[in-house]
Structure 1
Amino acid sequence: MKSFKDKILLGIICIVLGIVLALQFRIVQANYLKGTIPSKRVLELKVELKNAQEEKQVLNEELDLYKNKLKEIEGAASEDSAIIKRLNEELEKYKEFAGFTRLKGPGIEIVIDDPPSDLEFDTEESVIMYNYDILLSIINFLNSAGAEAISINEQRIVANTEMQLAGNSLQINSVPTGPPIVIKAIGDPDTLKSVLDWRFGIVAQMREYYNLQVDIKKMNELEIERYNDIIKYEYAKPIDD
């Protein structure tokens, strides 16, 4: 018969064996579960990926739609910009014709001054001021020669420019001025000079009959100021075609 000690030892061995078996079962069970969880997660990720791809496709279609709309808007804006640019070009052209723009270009410069002072018969009267109709004749000659812009003492000559004697000064565009008179004209220098300075032309008459000092220079470039007043129409009205 087994001794009491042997029974105790056998019991301890059984207990240890039971513990070992229990631990082994748990390890196997844990490994089994760990083997199934990743597989399930893969399936879930596949579903999420598919959903994301479908959502991406929808977003790409919306993006293409907005891109097309943006192109249409840009095209319309570009067309509007082209129209506005043409209108601005037309406006600038008419402003130049009306005298509301500073201009530069080739032309001539005419300097007119009174006769040299005569100490014995000195007078305060200005010959050119009291005969300012000569200036009007010069303007007409320059216009007939194709002058594109004219100024007298920096006053732009436009359609409604007034020129009149007021006291001891000549008023041009309501601005008082006096000799020397500097006339600038933009155009072909040779043509502009030839229409004034010829044998029996107006410059020869100014020198001969009025003893005026006249100097004409052809210029490669000169500047003419804009018309500074405001043109208002009180009685004239536009007619719709």
Structure 2
Amino acid sequence: MNSGAVKKTAVISLILGFLLTVVYQTTAEKSGQEISSDRWYKEEELRQSILQEQKENRQLEEEWRSLQRDVRAVEEEMAHREVSTFNLVEDLEKLRMLSGEVAVKGPGVEVTLNDHTYVPDGNNPNDYIVHERHIQQVVDELMLASAEAVSINGVRITRNSSIQCEGPVISVDNYTSTAPFVVRAIGDPDQLEAALELSGGVKDQLVNENIEVRMQQQSEILMDTVVGERET
């Protein structure tokens, strides 16, 4: 082979080598671009998925808070209803006790009113005996002191009860009796007794009107219903 042919062959080899290099680099760059593009799409898809999950989580959290508020509102309403129901039942029970519809048992006080044992000569005997107003004073004061139930000589008192006086005889709801008159009241013994013993109060007024007054606290008093038998 002459020198000219060798030169041509060398030139062709160089050109082919250059072309192969260019083709390889171009192919590699395209492949790299395709890989980078696929990775970007995958990362973007993952990012969008995370954002969507975060959005859904925020919605679920808000729904949970809303449910909590609803639950608290229901609980508060139920608590209010329970208190209202309890108060209603308690008030109804007190009303039934005061009206004499149910038997009552508990501590309380016993107040005995008696005619004065001594009437000075020349004085009116009526000024020394127990009248209905004296008994009514005691009953009213005991009621004001939160007595749960009151009786007079075993007769249960209600808001419709009547106390009438005919000389030394007093009629309570058509039950007649004479002195001594025993008024019993169920409730806080200390509170009931203190109400009657206030300075210038009921007891002092009765004593000033020549009525003998004796008070005792009782650990247990039993009162039947109005339609039942008298208390013992």
Match of 2:223 in 1: 224
Match of 2:193 in 1: 193
* Structure 2: tracts of 5 or more residues without a match: 1-88
1:118, distance to aligned residue in structure 2 (A) = 4.0
SS in 1 for 2:179: coil
1:106, distance to aligned residue in structure 2 (A) = 0.6
Q: Is the 8 A contact 1:142 1:185 kept in 2?
A: yes
Following superposition of structure 1 onto structure 2, how do residues 52-63 of structure 1 map, counting pairs within 5 Å? Answer: none
Q: Deviations over 1:28-72 (max 9, x none)?
A: xxxxxxxxxxxxxxxxxxxxxxxxxxxxxxxxxxxxxxxxxxxxx
Give the letter for the 2:209 counterpart: Y
Q: Deviations over 1:121-151 (max 9, x none)?
A: 697647444x321221221111111100000
1:166, distance to aligned residue in structure 2 (A) = 3.3
1:183, distance to aligned residue in structure 2 (A) = 0.4
Match of 1:233 in 2: none
Structure 1 residues 104 and 167, CA, compared in 2 at 3 Å: closer, same or farther?
same
Distance 1:138 1:167 in 2: 19
SS in 2 for 1:192: helix
Give the letter for the 1:148 counterpart: E
Q: Deviations over 1:94-139 (max 9, x none)?
A: 643420333210110001111113485697647444x321221221
Following superposition of structure 1 onto structure 2, how do residues 133-152 of structure 1 map, counting pairs within 5 Å? Answer: 133-152=133-152
1:220, distance to aligned residue in structure 2 (A) = 1.2
Match of 1:41 in 2: none
SS in 1 for 2:111: strand
Structure 1 residues 213 and 167, CA, compared in 2 at 3 Å: closer, same or farther?
closer
Give the letter for the 2:215 counterpart: I
1:191, distance to aligned residue in structure 2 (A) = 0.5
Match of 1:15 in 2: none
Distance 1:118 1:136 in 2: 23
Structure 1 residues 195 and 120, CA, compared in 2 at 3 Å: closer, same or farther?
same
Q: Is the 8 A contact 1:197 1:204 kept in 2?
A: yes
Structure 1 residues 195 and 167, CA, compared in 2 at 3 Å: closer, same or farther?
closer
Distance 1:211 1:205 in 2: 9
Distance 2:168 2:196 in 1: 28
Following superposition of structure 1 onto structure 2, how do residues 200-239 of structure 1 map, counting pairs within 5 Å? Answer: 200-207=200-207, 209-228=208-227
Q: Is the 8 A contact 1:154 1:225 kept in 2?
A: no
Match of 1:158 in 2: 158
Distance 1:102 1:221 in 2: 13
Match of 1:104 in 2: 105
Distance 1:126 1:173 in 2: 24
Query: What root-mean-square deviation, in Å, do the aligned CA atoms of Structure 1 and Structure 2 show?
Result: 2.8
Distance 1:217 1:102 in 2: 22
Distance 2:167 2:205 in 1: 26
Match of 2:81 in 1: none
TM-score, structure 1 length as denominator?
Answer: 0.50
Give the letter for the 1:111 counterpart: T
Distance 2:182 2:143 in 1: 17
1:224, distance to aligned residue in structure 2 (A) = 2.1
Structure 1 residues 188 and 156, CA, compared in 2 at 3 Å: closer, same or farther?
same
Match of 1:57 in 2: none
1:153, distance to aligned residue in structure 2 (A) = 0.6
Q: Is the 8 A contact 1:184 1:224 kept in 2?
A: no
Aligned pair count?
138
Match of 1:183 in 2: 183
